[in-house]
Amino acid sequence: MVGTPLDMGKPYRPKDHFFEKAKREGFRARSAFKIEEITRRFSVFKKGGKVLDLGAAPGGFLQVIADAVGPQGRVIGIDLVPIRPLGKPQVTTAALDVLADDFEEKLAELYDGPFDVVVSDLAPKTTGIKTTDEARSLRLAMRALELAKSRGRPGGAFVAKLFMGGDFETFREAVKAAFEDVKIVRPEATRGASMEVYVVGLRRRAQPA
């Protein structure tokens, strides 16, 4: 995860219920419970699946995804900062910029096949200026959607975090154009002050020839 959550005025309390639960259960971040809830509700990950996890540091999502796909699966975790190894052979991580011109070329060096699921927990470094933060969040979400269309397989799934804002409907319509079913989720583990939600696209449509 890049940057910090958008806080709308409430004090930041890192050691809340989910923080303590993550510590007890061995998760690297409380965010693990967000992707855990999403996959429980929509069964986005399958045994043996191939998954691209964007904004993966420090690895909370990766822990959940790696267990969901199992040893026969493949998970590529990407973030701007290095991710401490999980010790699971099905997981490969790299420090890359998803907005760089050569990103897809470097991604192909890690894994050149199609992904069953593209997950994005990308978030900008927030400025406190609502419109600026929303625009940066939208740019990252749109980039993740581009990757879901270029590297995701038909019938696959997409999960992306986005700050709610004026252009939210634009993004939802873009996901609807690429996926047969679209869900909007605010996981229970989301902090009360946060403006983030997750857009879940199910059953990616085949791209025109």
Any idea which residues carry the catalytic annotation?
161
CA distance 118 to 14: 28
How is the chain split among helix, strand and coil, in percent rounded to 5? 35, 25, 40
CA distance 87 to 66: 11
Query: End-to-end CA distance of the chain, in Å?
Result: 34
Residue 64 near residue 30, CB atoms below 8 Å: no
- In order, the DSSP letters of 90-154 are TEEEEE--TTSTTHHHHHHHH--S-EEEEEE---PPP-S-HHHHHHHHHHHHHHHHHHHHHHEEE
